[in-house]
Amino acid sequence: MVTVEDVKIIELPKFLDARGNLSFAEQLNHIPFEIKRTYWIYDVPGGEARGGHAFRENQEFIVALSGAFDVVVDDGENKKVFTLNRSYYGLYIPQCLWRTMENFSTNSLALEFGSEHFDEEDYVREYGDFLKLKKDGKI
Active site (catalytic) residues: 53
The one-character DSSP state at 56 is S
State which residue, 51 or 76, has the beta carbon closest to ligand TYD. 51
CA dist 50 and 104 (Å) reads 9
Q: How far is the CB of 101 from ligand TYD (least distance, A)?
A: 7
Q: How far is the CB of 50 from ligand TYD (least distance, A)?
A: 4
State which residue, 4 or 124, has the beta carbon closest to ligand TYD. 124
β pairing state of 22-23 and 60-66: unpaired
Residues constituting the chain: 139
Q: What are phi and psi of 113, to 5 degrees?
A: -110, 140
Residue 16 Cα to chain centre, angstroms:
25
Q: How far is the CB of 18 from ligand TYD (least distance, A)?
A: 36
State which residue, 14 or 50, has the beta carbon closest to ligand TYD. 50
Residues that bind ligand TYD (CB under 6 A): 37, 39, 41, 50-51, 53, 118
CA dist 37 and 89 (Å) reads 19
